[in-house]
């Protein structure tokens, strides 16, 4: 493991190692607080993503390292026409590891081919966002203490949500997983996920439009945003959107130990009244995202 | 004291403690240089304010801590429709203390209600800017060695200047304060300050349009900017603006130990010829701003 | 040496000291890794320049110091009408050394006249960019082990390229330098460089439009970008541009130990096929830029 571009680049064993290391970091914060002393992370964010950027930066600071970078393309040399490869080769002289966000698919891959320091894909267009997938896996693992034998519901925009696709792919490698896919017809899971991932791996799955009647069986509910602009017309959007808003009333039917996840930011797809329910885990998930990035950077830097 | 949202949240005793701690920091820089080791400040600036942001960042660095954040809303998740409460809850997982600037009044208050780490209001619209008030108080205290028994003039835009309102409120709690309010009629102090603060606390005050003839009695002169856009017509602006520009000639009538303050940035309301006069204290004030923020953060983090 | 505004402010002796110190830093990284502990660099970039900004920031971090600043004018007080002098005086209270980039010529000079901390000009309009010149000199010195007795070619836009003008001036102080100036007629070196620098110092030089036939004699080839907008018409641009693109075929005629430099970012004036040729030194140059800035800051801070 030299770079992390696609979450499926990681074997189950490598994921397991990262999760185990994350756990050790959580349990022994002080031990890790200066392990990256003298190391520099470069956060190259060609499009803004505050949450992801600050998660990486907090992670490196908590390891005792430091950070340089930029938070949008305006302030980068890209505006002068520099290629991603040249930017990466330049940054390689300044930093020890790169986290790159770019609107264009494959950008992190290109960067990784030109440098000798690790490159982490922090999101490349609608393509991959592997540290979100690691975040989701660590959250489930920490709360459920397993990644197998789980019934996991995905709700909302299953068509365009790259975090959903990646997490389904990742979970498909564990035993005894059931998947419930809850979305309006307009936003159903793409057929390649259905065929190439779920059917191919013999994962039992159900497709439904009904959140309320699907919630009872779930161990994990992964919520995503239903964006207005995904619909052909406003009338459909208004008719459908309430069905995919999670509130306390819909939670009445859920298990006591359901875990509700969301990659955030949310707009209104989870009512704020849910925030105080002990099943709401999406802010804990934010913190697991920091820990798993700490673990990942230590692995890529060969410090663990 | 858990957060700092409104300068009037602080008791006279708490202000006194912060000023005393600031003094100790000034006298013993080295002692404090790693007291915040491992701590992270998040500067969440939903609108730009370089001076305030860098003051907070320098303050945290001089305490041995580190900084993450953003300097304008473009690079934050707010652009994706996230609420201030959700942003704060996310940042809480990354940092130990928040300094928030937001164009909307009450934003810092909202943030503070949703997190368990201290939130400092670094300016919320035209509302409050408590660390500027602490800066002003520390500057006066360090130079005059008292906050009582002072004649303080405020000159310029007294109608919209939130720093003026806050400083008047803060000073109204000390003994033997006299206030001279110097402004064009269009920019007089709001009646609620006149009635609810000055009259209610029996603070003697004078309202005048004449800077030159008011300056002789002052111990402190707090200058502010007279903005062109505040006037109904250009003719009034041009007629009036020179009366509110402080220059060496107007200073002829002032006391030898007058202290001239300004929250900065200035445009032209203090002539640069004044900069070399020993009574000009506005750049020292900048540095006191850093020290008082160091003291405030130590208090809020319970490190002092 | 208190500030660095113009590369010609430095004597040959001072440049020599900086290059020697850079060499020592390269050879003894660990020795310097906390020499700036507690020091703060302020990067005041009134226009974006990611490469230069991150080079300064990496340099300060590798010396154990820390960084505050801004990366574009939008997020600075300049937007509120503050003068460069006032910004500098404010920052002086927050930081120990300033690196300033500004679109207006002379801005860094103005800043340096108002503060007691060192100011480094990180580019002021088309005027000066002294740390690029130091970078170029260190690169040549490290690879050729001398700054005298060299035949140096400059290719591309010699009219507007400030890095070209500065490096010619700097090299004109060393013995036995020959200069080959390769450009389209539209972009020839300005007459003041020809007369006031080259002729005045009796530096042999040749002006030519032909890269391919000039390359054989060169010890160093300094490439720059030929920008489309410099030409009166598109037809001229298209006709000429290929002559100034360096590729492996043109390199056939070059010496085995030629060093190819470029201030970067490049667009297409050096074909990427050249990157793997051992004579390509422009990415090494990036790293020398970091080391020379480390040395410069140590000198200006009187730490060496």
Q: Are the CB atoms for A217 and A151 separated by under 8 Å?
A: yes
**Which residues in chain C are closer than 8 Å to B48, comparing Cβ atoms?**
74-76, 79
Domain count, chain A: 2
Residue B76 has pLDDT above 70, yes or no: no
Within a domain: B163: yes
Split at pLDDT 50, 70, 90, the class of B238 is confident
Asked about B101 being catalytic, the answer comes back as yes
> Which is it for strands B150-155 and A150-155: parallel, antiparallel or unpaired?
unpaired
Provide CB contacts within 8 A for C4, sequence distance 6+: C10, C118, C119, C120, C121, C130, C131, C296, C300
A180: tokens are 């419930």
Whole-number pLDDT of residue B246? 95
Same domain, C184 and C117: no
Residue range C129-185, pLDDT digits in tens: 999 999 999 999 999 999 999 999 999 999 988 899 999 999 999 999 999 999 998
**Gap between the Cα atoms of C60 and C298, Å rounded:** 9
Domain range for A108: 7-128+286-300
**Gap between the Cα atoms of C54 and A93, Å rounded:** 10
* Residue A86 sits at the chain C interface (C-beta within 8 Å): yes
Of B66, B85, B90, the CB nearest to A61: B66
State how far residue A197 is from chain B, nearest Cα, in angstroms. Answer: 30
**Gap between the Cα atoms of A289 and A52, Å rounded:** 9
- Which segment of B77-86, B96-105, B205-214, C257-266 scores lowest on mean pLDDT? B77-86
Residue B80, marked binder: yes
**Gap between the Cα atoms of B205 and B218, Å rounded:** 12
Q: Is the CB of B286 less than 8 angstroms away from the CB of C42?
A: no
Split at pLDDT 50, 70, 90, the class of B77 is low
Residue range B144-178, pLDDT digits in tens: 999 999 999 999 999 988 899 999 999 999 999 99
Split at pLDDT 50, 70, 90, the class of C75 is low
* Residue B77 sits at the chain A interface (C-beta within 8 Å): yes
Within a domain: A265: yes
Per the prediction, chain C carries an average pLDDT of 94
Q: Point out the annotated binding site of C.
A: 51-52, 80, 101, 129, 132, 162, 225, 264-265
Q: Are the CB atoms for B75 and A43 separated by under 8 Å?
A: no
Same domain, A141 and A266: yes
Same domain, A100 and A225: no
Residue B295 has pLDDT above 70, yes or no: yes
Within a domain: A1: no
Residues above pLDDT 70, as percent of chain B: 98
Same domain, C150 and C273: yes
Within a domain: B2: no
- The mean pLDDT value for B75-92 works out to 84
Same domain, C142 and C123: no
Provide CB contacts within 8 A for A207, sequence distance 6+: A181, A183, A188, A189
Active-site residue, selected from the candidate residues B43, B52, B133, B135: B52
Give the position of tokens 């007795």. Answer: C149
Whole-number pLDDT of residue C154? 98
Within a domain: C155: yes
| Contacts made by residues B226-229, CB under 8 angstroms, sequence distance 24+ | B226/B156, B226/B157, B226/B184, B226/B187, B226/B269, B227/B157, B227/B160
SS (H, E, C) chain C: CCCECCHHHCCHHHHHHHHHHHHHHHHCCHHHCCCCCCCEEEEEECCCCHHHHHHHHHHHHHCCCEEEEECCHHHCHHHHCCCHHHHHHHHCCCCCEEEEEECCCCHHHHHHHCCCCCEEEEEECCCCCHHHHHHHHHHHHHHHCCCCCEEEEEECCCCCCHHHHHHHHHHCCCCCEEEEEECCHHHCCCHHHHHHHHHCCCCCEEEECCCCCCHHHCCEEEECCCCHHHCCCHHHHHHHHHHHCECHHHHCCCCCCCEEECCCCCCCCECHHHHHCCCECHHHHHHHHHHHHHHHHHHHCCCC
* Residue B241 sits at the chain C interface (C-beta within 8 Å): no
Within a domain: C1: no
Same domain, A30 and A74: yes
Q: Are the CB atoms for B255 and B140 separated by under 8 Å?
A: no
Asked about A293 being catalytic, the answer comes back as no
- From the number of C-beta atoms within 10 Å of its C-beta (0-12, 13-18, 19+), residue A1 rates as middle
Same domain, B154 and B274: yes
**Gap between the Cα atoms of C51 and B53, Å rounded:** 23
Same domain, C68 and C106: yes
State how far residue C300 is from chain B, nearest Cα, in angstroms. Answer: 20
Q: Is the CB of C86 less than 8 angstroms away from the CB of B266?
A: yes
Within a domain: A53: yes
CATH number of the domain where residue C295 is located: 3.40.50.1370
CA nearest to C129, candidates C98, C155, C99, C166: C166
Q: Which residues of chain A are under the pLDDT cut of 50? A: none
* Residue C287 sits at the chain A interface (C-beta within 8 Å): yes
Within a domain: A279: yes
**Which residues in chain C are closer than 8 Å to A48, comparing Cβ atoms?**
none
Of B74, B79, B94, the CB nearest to A54: B94
| Extended strands (E) in A125-208 | 150-155, 177-182, 205-208
State how far residue A82 is from chain C, nearest Cα, in angstroms. Answer: 6
The Cα angle at residue C221 between residues C219 and C222, in degrees rounded to 5: 140
Split at pLDDT 50, 70, 90, the class of B78 is low
CB A303: neighbour CB atoms within 10 A? 12
Q: Are the CB atoms for B27 and B143 separated by under 8 Å?
A: no
Cis peptide before A265 (omega within 30 of 0): yes
Same domain, A169 and A290: no
State how far residue B267 is from chain C, nearest Cα, in angstroms. Answer: 6
Split at pLDDT 50, 70, 90, the class of B64 is very high
* Residue C266 sits at the chain A interface (C-beta within 8 Å): yes
Same domain, C164 and C90: no
**Which residues in chain B are closer than 8 Å to C61, comparing Cβ atoms?**
none
* Residue A73 sits at the chain B interface (C-beta within 8 Å): no
Residue range B12-57, pLDDT digits in tens: 999 999 999 999 999 999 999 999 999 999 999 999 899 999 999 9
Q: What is the ipTM of this complex?
A: 0.94
**Which residues in chain B are closer than 8 Å to A266, comparing Cβ atoms?**
82, 86
Same domain, A159 and A199: yes
Q: Is the CB of C54 less than 8 angstroms away from the CB of A94?
A: yes
* Residue C33 sits at the chain B interface (C-beta within 8 Å): no
Same domain, C274 and C147: yes
C125: tokens are 């309009």
């Amino acid at each position: 493991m030299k770079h992390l571009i696609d979450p499926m680049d990681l074997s189950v064993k490598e994921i397991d190692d990262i999760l185990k290391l994350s756990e050790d970091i959580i349990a022994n914060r002080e031990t890790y607080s200066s392990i990256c002393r003298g190391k520099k992370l470069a956060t190259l964010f060609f499009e803004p993503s505050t949450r992801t950027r600050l998660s990486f930066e907090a992670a490196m600071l908590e390891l005792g390292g430091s950070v340089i970078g930029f938070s949008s393309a305006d302030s980068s040399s890209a505006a002068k026409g520099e290629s991603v490869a040249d930017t990466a080769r330049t940054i390689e002289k300044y930093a020890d590891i790169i986290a790159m966000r770019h609107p264009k698919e494959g950008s992190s891959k290109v960067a990784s081919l030109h440098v000798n320091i690790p490159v982490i894909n922090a999101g490349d267009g609608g393509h991959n966002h592997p540290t979100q997938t690691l975040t989701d896996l660590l959250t489930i693992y920490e709360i459920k203490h397993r990644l197998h034998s789980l019934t996991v519901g995905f709700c909302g925009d299953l068509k365009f949500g790259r975090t959903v696709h990646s997490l389904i792919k990742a979970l498909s490698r564990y035993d005894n997983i059931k998947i419930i896919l809850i979305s309006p017809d307009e936003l159903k899971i793409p057929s390649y996920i259905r065929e190439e991932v779920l059917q191919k791996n013999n994962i039992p799955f159900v497709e439904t439009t009904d959140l309320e009647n699907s919630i009872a069986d779930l161990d994990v509910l992964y919520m995503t945003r239903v964006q207005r602009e995904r619909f052909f017309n406003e009338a459909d959007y208004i008719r459908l959107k309430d069905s995919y808003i999670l509130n306390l009333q819909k939670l009445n039917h859920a298990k006591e130990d359901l875990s509700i996840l969301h990659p955030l930011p949310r707009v209104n797809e989870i009512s704020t009244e849910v925030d105080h329910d002990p099943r709401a885990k999406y802010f804990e998930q934010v913190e697991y995202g920091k820990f798993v990035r700490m673990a990942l950077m230590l692995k890529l830097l060969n410090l663990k």
